[in-house]
Structure 1
């Protein structure tokens, strides 16, 4: 066996000890910095949570009061054997009805609402909540190269269309010619989505120059992920004359939102493409939409969902022409009318996606302290005259309450009135007509 002098062995051990201590010191120093940062993040999250809880209490009387949690992964109802309907949508404004337990996730914080900048187009081009379609039928105003049927989820009367999964399966609504500036809104729901759902499971919405079942030579699409075991992000891509110019995935963790029937909003202004999920804007690409080509078709496509286990549904599709700044119109004309302020079915609970419009009204009042406004609510013809008259007044009061409580507007500058169904601006027999009649007016006093 080979031996070492005692002095050499001592020096070797001393060297190892010194390097070990120094290395551990460096590691401990790094760990100390990480621990400090982690502690800071923990404190910030706790403060944010407590602040959110307090501000939620303020908004409980305005936005969906008394609700505490949404039902996740509702069960789709099977069609009646007779093919009849399983309930109507009532006097709805395109929102999702509450699940069977009557619960909801409650309002978001004041900060979120005050910064939500989506404003729907002012001229409605298309709206479909499948109210005129029978449960079990494919909707009359859509086309597909697969199949599908209108269903209800849980005990809610709201109707939904399943978007079946497949790479070349498309669902195409009969939307008329799209202008240069327009908005698209819809609600989505997932059933059977869990931690085993694929990282590539997604629902895409495409704007295309092809009116059939291909992507087209000119298009733009956004992919909404359903993966639950990791934050996948939202992907956007375009094609100009058959060549891809942009493909990017924006970091976004929407795993919780995707389980709770989120509202998706899209705004197209020339080349600019923006997308919100609920009240958060995730996509804002200034030159994504191809120019020189007419993207006249909207298509929905679901991919990589497990057959028989995972399902994706869509409802309340609304397409409207944009381009009019409501603030300028109110100041110059003294009156505006909008059907972009949405409420829960048969109630005066304001939907979160409506706050972009209410924010613009606040900006007008903030800019000119001499302006006073009358807020007038209108309904469609569903329901009794007296019921609609009372509901329209409550909805006008709810908008006033939002301006006062969320934005601090002096309540003395605002008056309210309800007109019920007495002053329709469109036919009450079609989904588009009813949606246009459900509106809120702001009139300078």
Structure 2
């Protein structure tokens, strides 16, 4: 480009100079000098115009090229920044939701089984089956676990359990790696005219509730021994159990309503999942056509929704099995939320009431360690109430008594479960 500009300048200068020389010869000396100066000025002007014209073309070409680049990218940097800022400002906040455990275990333990009285390798003494099963220890969790490893087998608890209208059943389950079609828990009413120690019927007894713990979710079905009445079904796919890991499943039955909780969420809630006339009294696990062999432990059944207000304010003491801790730990678990919330509500509505929180343990382990654990648990319950519900800490005292004040026999799993408790005492 520079060579072209230079060439144009030289040619212009040469042409003007040739024409100017013929004209200069006809003039006088004075006119010659004036003409010569005029020619030089003209040459400079033409050269400047040529250079400016060339620069204008160059600038235009650069702008065009820049426009092509920004065209490919959509917008210039400043325009893109402005657009992003506007988009960020206008972007709506996404909808989110939270939930809390809303079940409250009662002050009565109806049944508890952790297989602690059974030897490793044995079939548990209080159960029976039409297949095989074995008590084992596992590397993923403490305690003993019942391995339901029989093909197409059912596992029946041999003693009746008188379920009230409102109860909570909990258990821990470790699904095996396959866990193809899960496991079925059945709560049913025994047929008094045809009682069966091992009931492998598809729909046992006079009626009941099937609870399916599946690989990809949950299913329930209320049934009755009447062909004219259809099954009452419900299902959910939130938070399915995790294979080869301990899972704590909680089921709250409130008359006809069934709710299931897992991993901090309510995973199923069916308001009419049971036939009202059924009074369940039996517990069974079924692996029929399941191709699964899970491990089960810490099966517990309690009453539900106690009158905490009356217990604490009128009777002066509330025994709670709704404050949860892991074995040997002092951290209050999220399953404790509803029970703690109810206690906090009583304190909020009665600002003059002061309480003492007392922790208790069973007799397993060393006395000194149990005493220390019970004190730490009570202190953490106080901290939970003050942090979560803004209860004034000065209204709460704490203590721990370890294993020194049992309320039941420490020689069996159910008695030990009753002794592991938190008491709230009105001062």
TM-score by length of 1: 0.67
CA distance in 1, matches of 2:257, 2:140: 39
Deviations 1:210-249 (A, max 9, x none): 354122331211212114xxxxx42211222333534434
Corresponding residue for residue 83 of structure 1 = none
**1:443, distance to aligned residue in structure 2 (A):** 1.1
1:123 aligns with 2:108: yes
**Is this contact kept in 2: 1:302–1:312, CA < 8 A?**
no
Corresponding residue for residue 205 of structure 1 = 185
**1:353, distance to aligned residue in structure 2 (A):** 2.1
**1:255, distance to aligned residue in structure 2 (A):** 3.7
Q: Secondary structure at the match of 1:299?
A: strand
**Is this contact kept in 1: 2:106–2:321, CA < 8 A?**
no
**Is this contact kept in 2: 1:208–1:297, CA < 8 A?**
yes
Which of residues 204, 208, 217 is equivalent to 1:219?
208
The structure that is helix-richer by fraction is 2
TM-score by length of 2: 0.70
**Is this contact kept in 2: 1:397–1:416, CA < 8 A?**
yes
Corresponding residue for residue 416 of structure 1 = 398
Corresponding residue for residue 149 of structure 2 = 164
CA distance in 1, matches of 2:140, 2:294: 18
CA distance in 1, matches of 2:290, 2:224: 29
Deviations 1:140-174 (A, max 9, x none): 11122211001111164321112236556234363
CA distance in 2, matches of 1:282, 1:297: 24
**1:258, distance to aligned residue in structure 2 (A):** 5.7
Q: Which runs of 5+ in 2 are unaligned?
A: 1-86, 191-195
Corresponding residue for residue 368 of structure 1 = 350
Q: Which runs of 5+ in 1 are unaligned?
A: 1-35, 49-110, 228-232
When residues 303 and 412 of structure 1 are mapped into structure 2, their CA distance, relative to the original with a 3 A threshold, is farther
**1:278, distance to aligned residue in structure 2 (A):** 3.4
Corresponding residue for residue 325 of structure 1 = 307
Which of residues 373, 392, 397 is equivalent to 1:391?
373
When residues 382 and 168 of structure 1 are mapped into structure 2, their CA distance, relative to the original with a 3 A threshold, is closer
Q: Secondary structure at the match of 1:417?
A: strand
CA distance in 2, matches of 1:351, 1:398: 11
**1:131, distance to aligned residue in structure 2 (A):** 0.9
When residues 164 and 296 of structure 1 are mapped into structure 2, their CA distance, relative to the original with a 3 A threshold, is same
Aligned alpha-carbon RMSD (Å): 2.7
When residues 166 and 247 of structure 1 are mapped into structure 2, their CA distance, relative to the original with a 3 A threshold, is farther
**Is this contact kept in 2: 1:348–1:398, CA < 8 A?**
yes
When residues 251 and 171 of structure 1 are mapped into structure 2, their CA distance, relative to the original with a 3 A threshold, is same
**1:351, distance to aligned residue in structure 2 (A):** 2.9
